[in-house]
Structure 1
Amino acid sequence: MTLKNKTSFFATALSLLLVICSSCGIYSFSGTTISPDIKSMSIQTIENSTGEGPSNLTDIVTTTFKNYYRRNTNLTVIQAEGDLQLAGQIVSFTYSPAAIEREGQQDQASLNRLTLGIQVRFTNTKDPQKDFDRLFTISENFEGDVDITQIPAASITSMTERLVTDVFNKTVADW
């Protein structure tokens, strides 16, 4: 095959691939499966009903949700009445021993676990069969000598991002 034929073959193959990927209308390279008739998503403020955690936990969680959906979809994120609707509340922010070790005559936590739980209500106004109300949780372990007030904000943000990824996969990636 000559160089001209190879170039022509690859150009044709690439064009065909692009046509196939764009023709179905619901596939995207971010892994989402959003119907073309869905244009917006409303994300309500995710309130902290536990009274635990940092004072800005509501803001961290809500902002992370909004930013993640803006970054990973073409949906317009609005306050209310979106084609997709996400609401919820923080229902657990607990710090408890994950591993105990005996030191002398005393039991002591060698690891502590922070667990963040969010109850999420998802509504798909175009396809109600995809609606759900479900608890999502994420945990992370910290050394036993780390007090809950010493947990870095970056760790809480990282946990929140992983939890939001789980919710994203359930809502628009159909995982």
Structure 2
Amino acid sequence: MKNLKYLLILLVATTFSGCGVYNFTGTGKIDAETFQVNFFQNNADLIEPGIDRDFTLALQDLIQNQTNLNLVSSGGDLTYEGEIVDYRTTPMTATADQQAAQNRLTIRINVRFTNKKKETDDFEKTFEFYKDYPGTTQLVGSSLNAAIKEIYDRITQDIFNESLAKW
């Protein structure tokens, strides 16, 4: 009985000794306390009004929801900045009568990430995603907003993974 007690204590101790700091968002331990997201200017050739503001807010919201970092307007430990460099609609496939059967909305964003606490994490990288839609459909109003939201959800998650989750 005495050996069983020691075996149980040893089993519990080895089980929990391998556990480190883990967060279900995958970020682990972050040394930073604050972050800032500077306004992402729309420098694309084709201008869609408001997408710059929407992207900036989407990135702020994602980081606030998935970390315990505090959003600041300046002097953040982590800084995200950049610009929207491409916004385009491209025909992907054609029908027999030379009409677009499928179109693709693509958004590309250049991001500069700075980590004051760990400069080796700094990067400048382009993130891009797209949404395909039928050629018979025009992306306007709520369908355009839904497509942009889907693209931004993917791009902001990719930025988060690259900067904080290290996936």
User: Which TM-score band (shorter chain)?
Assistant: 0.7 to 0.9
Per the alignment, residue 163 of structure 1 pairs with: 155
CA distance in 1, matches of 2:135, 2:79: 39
Unpaired segments ≥5 residues, structure 2: none
* Partner residue in 1 for 2:132: 141
- Could you tell me which residue of structure 2 aligns to residue 46 of structure 1? 40
RMSD: 2.6
SS in structure 1 at match of 2:20: helix
Matches within 5 A, 1:10-159: 13=12, 17=16, 20-22=19-21, 27-36=22-31, 38-50=32-44, 52-103=46-97, 107-149=98-140, 151-159=143-151
Aligned-residue offset at 1:53: 4.7
**CA separation in 2, counterparts of 1:33 and 1:125?**
18
Residue 159 of structure 1 and its aligned partner are, at CA, apart by 1.1
**Distance between the aligned counterparts of 1:61 and 1:108, measured in 2?**
32
SS at match of 2:19: helix
Shift in CA distance, 100/34, structure 1 to aligned 2, threshold 3 Å: farther
Kindly state the Cα deviation for residue 18 of structure 1 after the two structures are TM-superposed: 9.4
CA distance in 1, matches of 2:104, 2:88: 8
Matches of 1:108 and 1:18, distance apart in 2 = 63
Count of residue pairs brought into register by the alignment:
160
Classify 1:58/1:168 alpha carbon distance in 2 versus 1 (closer, same or farther; 3 Å): same
Per the normalisation by structure 1, the TM-score is: 0.80
1:86 offset after TM fit, Å?
Answer: 0.5
Give the stretch that moved more between structures: 38-47 or 48-57: 48-57
